[in-house]
Amino acid sequence: MSKSRLLASIITLVVGCGGIARAQPSQAGGAAPAPAPAPQTVAPNDYSKDANWLCRPGHHDACDIDLSTTVVKADGSLSKEPFVPASTPPIDCFYVYPTISTDPGIYSDMTPDAAELNVIAQQFARFRQVCRPFAPMYRQVTLAGLRRSMAGGLGSLSSGPQYDDVRDAWRYYLEHENRGRGVVLIGHSQGSFILTSLIAREIEGTPQQKRIVSAILMGTTVQVPAGKDVGGSFKSLPLCHTATDTGCVITFSSYRSTVPPPANALFGHVTAPGMAGACTNPAALAGGSGDLHAYLDAKGRTITSTTPPQPWVSGGASIDTPWVSVPGLLTAACRTSENATYLEVTVHGNPADPRTDDIIGDLGSGQQVLANWGLHLIDVNLAMGNLLDIVRQQGQAFGRRR
């Protein structure tokens, strides 16, 4: 399926079904969020096999790609930023990707397609700068499964092949790969939902919890008691407030400042009495506003679509790297409205300078933008540089404390 057809199918799905219902507190996450069909019994995967991993340390796999970047400054000047992975990273990263599979069934198969390879490039490969990469394949609820399941309403992703596969991969990693190292859990959308369940079922209150450097759960809703940092989704993992905090959670879902979450917002809304959605700003963990260090696809690809961007620099040289960074163009701050708690992203375009004045990342285009999704397609891209800095510092702090 082409990227344009994939985007069209998602829009058809959402609009044709009258919109996706807002995520409930017990099921925040998924493909904003993905409904789960009735669980089916399948044979467990053998995670000792390289074929069942998209990324493992020391392999020429989905993470071993060109991540060179062109830095585009406001004055139109360009510079190259090479990608240099860490030679001996002190910690590991365990990543679970969002709903992106274009397989025709309700659940994806275990063969990596273009969609899986693309999401690794968009969301995870760059973490090789700070940690050893582990990214299991898993039989996720597909985009087709999302569509087929819509008539039955939203279900939970806390059981079924998608959760079982990630759990089995995690257990294999702990037994055969971890060797007592610190690990960062990273997820987006369906991946964040699965990791939320994994933390609650497998990690909290066990010796494994001491190995968690942090959990970065994006494109979902993590609950906390109003005004507090812990409780709700997790019993003992608090929110992170500095880059040297460890054993804590970073979570956010992004919306444009010009298109805030509407009443049917899919992320950041909680209905349980006394509970609130959590937001930790990766550009300013201590609070307030900060500059986003984004890594954007030079050709306008996101995790599920391609929308060719406007020229990055008017009348300037063409971009010959796969990635672009735009320092000073984007800032973020956590906000709470009557509809959601969210990461508000402001684009500081200036028509007087030669650099582009906007970014792509909305679901839809023109008058068909689906405001309830926010900038879900680029949640991770927007904060990638900030997250790398945080994980680097967290890894150092974790090592000192150990």
Q: Comparing C-alpha atoms, which of 333, 349, 248 is closest to residue 283?
A: 333
Q: What ranges make up the beta strands (E) of 107-253?
A: 131-136, 183-188, 212-218, 223-225, 248-252
Indicate whether 42 belongs to any domain.
no
Domain count, the chain: 1
Q: What DSSP designation does 231 have?
A: B
Instruction: Give the integer Cα–Cα distance in Å for 106 and 139.
Output: 9
Q: Comparing C-alpha atoms, which of 317, 307, 249 is closest to residue 278?
A: 249
Q: Which domain holds residue 171?
A: 3-37+51-401
On the 0-12 / 13-18 / 19+ scale of CB atoms within 10 A, 337 is middle
Q: Comparing C-alpha atoms, which of 71, 198, 188 is closest to residue 123?
A: 188
Q: What is the pLDDT of residue 8?
A: 41
The tokens describing 146, both together, are 């999302």
Measured CA to CA in angstroms, residue 216 lies from 83, 103, 354, 357 at distances of 22, 27, 35, 29
Per-residue tens of pLDDT for the chain, all 402 residues: 333 434 444 443 443 333 333 443 333 334 444 444 445 578 999 999 999 999 999 999 999 999 999 999 999 999 999 999 999 999 999 999 999 999 998 999 999 999 999 999 999 999 999 999 999 999 999 988 877 765 554 356 666 899 999 999 999 999 999 999 999 999 999 999 999 999 999 999 999 999 999 999 999 999 999 999 999 999 999 999 999 999 999 999 999 999 999 999 999 999 999 999 999 999 999 999 999 999 999 999 999 989 888 999 998 788 999 999 999 999 999 999 999 999 999 999 999 999 999 999 998 766 688 999 999 999 999 999 999 999 999 999 999 987
Instruction: Give the integer Cα–Cα distance in Å for 19 and 372.
Output: 9
Indicate whether 314 belongs to any domain.
yes
Indicate whether 44 belongs to any domain.
no
Indicate whether 338 belongs to any domain.
yes
Which residues are CB-contacts of 68 (< 8 A; sequence separation ≥ 6)?
A: 80, 81, 82, 83, 321, 322, 323
Name the phi and psi angles at 13, rounded to 5.
-60, -50
The tokens describing 102, both together, are 């274009």
Tally of CB atoms within 10 A around 95 = 26
Indicate whether 45 belongs to any domain.
no
Q: What is the pLDDT of residue 145?
A: 83
Indicate whether 202 belongs to any domain.
yes
Q: What is the pLDDT of residue 217?
A: 98
Indicate whether 46 belongs to any domain.
no
Indicate whether 43 belongs to any domain.
no
Tally of CB atoms within 10 A around 68 = 14
Q: What is the pLDDT of residue 13?
A: 40
Residue 155: HSE in the Cβ half-sphere, 13 Å Cα cutoff:
18
Q: 323, 69 in Cβ contact below 8 A?
A: yes
Q: What is the pLDDT of residue 156?
A: 62
